[in-house]
């Protein structure tokens, strides 16, 4: 839940003391200097941006027509990979050229979203190499990969990590099959290194089938989990993650479902009626999607969505 804090600055002008009060967000957000951010009430809107094709900055161009609040609360860079390095004999974090471009242009692409109060996460995805989040065979191996993730978050001043357990191809290329301890150990180690950052889970793959081990639960370490099948409805079942405010039962694919605005509105209504706290969007494009997004925001927040400013091209000029 977003909390509001009040902070003050005192300016001494000659013998006159002037007290100026401004409003800001809590420490997990990035307040804009001398400007109160517009807020909204309702589920968090979470959007994946496929940075091989689209500019992450576009997540910040959508606002609610009346309040001026940002539509999206969390923007996710999709995606880096978990790869296998044979020379080191271990799993390694890999950024392709497009993700690398986004990370290296943090000041131009990531920080502007954070300055609007949005969180920016990095999604991690399997890469057909036999390794993934669910087949670490020791705590040391899980710890090593967790350290790589935490270092990336620190280096690029991100707000957290998202796990997407697809395309790992467990058991291939001489790698072990998935097991019941690996993902629990990984998120435990990552939470130790990122106590104040977000850890989220896309509800798919062997990792989400192995969320409890020796009394430890993935939900003890993960903040959010959401639906992985677009156009469908059903809350994730993650051990220890039971608070509806941290679950997203519905998901839409913006680029593939624009003709089904009524379906999106229905999914949004069910989310609200059932008291869940997350609504998931995937694949935000360059083109203006405000009409389709309005079908959702009208239900979630009682406001139309509008695109403020021009669309941002990709790659950047």
Residue of 66, 166, 212, 303 marked active site: 166
d(CA 311, CA 123): 23
Q: What is the largest CA-CA distance in the chain?
A: 75
CA angle 290, 291, 293 (to 5 degrees): 60
Angle at which helices 290-300 and 261-273 cross, to 10°: 20
Would you tell me how many other CB atoms lie within 10 Å of the CB of residue 269?
Answer: 15
Question: Which of 89, 202, 187 has the alpha carbon at shortest distance from 139?
Answer: 187
Q: Let me know: does 84 contact 112? Beta carbons within 8 Å.
A: no
Residue 212 falls in the annotated catalytic set? no
d(CA 111, CA 114): 5
Question: Which of 222, 96, 243 has the alpha carbon at shortest distance from 162?
Answer: 222
Question: Which of 45, 107, 61, 100 has the alpha carbon at shortest distance from 77?
Answer: 100
d(CA 276, CA 270): 9
Q: Where in the sequence numbering do the catalytic residues fall?
A: 166
């Amino acid at each position: 839940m977003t909390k509001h804090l009040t902070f003050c600055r005192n300016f001494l002008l000659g013998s006159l003391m002037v007290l100026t009060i401004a409003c800001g967000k809590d420490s997990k957000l990035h307040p804009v200097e001398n400007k109160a951010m517009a807020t909204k009430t309702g589920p968090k809107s979470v959007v994946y941006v496929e940075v091989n094709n689209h500019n992450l900055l576009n997540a910040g161009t959508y606002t609610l027509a009346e309040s001026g609040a940002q539509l999206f609360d969390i923007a996710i860079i999709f995606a880096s990979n978990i790869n296998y390095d044979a020379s080191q004999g271990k799993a390694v974090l890999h950024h392709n050229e497009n993700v690398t471009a986004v990370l290296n242009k943090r000041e131009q692409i990531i920080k502007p979203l954070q300055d609007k109060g949005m969180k920016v996460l990095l999604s991690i995805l399997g890469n057909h190499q036999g390794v993934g989040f669910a087949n670490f065979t020791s705590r040391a191996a899980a710890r090593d990969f967790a350290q790589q993730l935490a270092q990336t978050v620190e280096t690029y001043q991100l707000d957290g990590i998202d796990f997407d357990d697809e395309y790992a191809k467990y058991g291939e290329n001489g790698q072990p099959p998935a097991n019941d301890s690996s993902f629990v150990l990984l998120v435990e180690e990552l939470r130790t290194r990122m106590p104040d950052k977000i850890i989220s889970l896309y509800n798919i793959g062997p990792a989400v089938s192995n969320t409890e081990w020796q009394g430890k639960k993935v939900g003890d370490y993960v903040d959010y989990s959401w639906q992985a099948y677009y156009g469908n409805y059903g809350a994730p079942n993650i051990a220890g993650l039971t608070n509806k405010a941290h679950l997203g039962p519905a998901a839409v694919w913006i680029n593939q479902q624009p003709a089904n605005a009524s379906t999106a509105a229905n999914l949004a209504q069910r989310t609200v009626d059932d008291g869940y706290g997350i609504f998931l969007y995937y694949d935000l494009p360059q083109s203006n999607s405000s009409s389709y997004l309005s079908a959702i925001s009208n239900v979630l927040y009682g406001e139309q969505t509008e695109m403020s400013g021009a669309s941002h091209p990709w790659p950047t000029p």
